Amino acid sequence: MLDDEFNRQRAKILRDLAEQADPFIRRRLLLLVERYEPAPPPAPNDPQPARPRKRR
């Protein structure tokens, strides 16, 4: 829980800095933000299986 709060705060600080930075530094800061944000949940599998192709 404490780590999550730290990561959220760190990401916010980096985003705030990125708003004021030049384009090169902004890009690097936003890449760093990705390290502090939680990973998105994995995408669910396609609920409908692919249909087999008809042979000609």
- pLDDT at position 3: 86
18 neighbors 29 (Cβ within 8 angstroms): yes
- pLDDT at position 38: 75
- pLDDT at position 28: 96
- pLDDT at position 36: 85
- pLDDT at position 20: 96
Tell me the backbone φ, ψ of residue 21, rounded to 5 degrees: -90, 165
Going 5 to 10 to 15 to 19, the CA torsion angle's sign is positive
Dihedral angle, C-alpha 20, 17, 21, 23, nearest 10 ° = -120
- pLDDT at position 22: 97
Tell me the pLDDT tens digit for each residue of 2-55.
Answer: 788 899 999 999 999 999 999 999 999 999 999 888 766 677 775 565 566 666
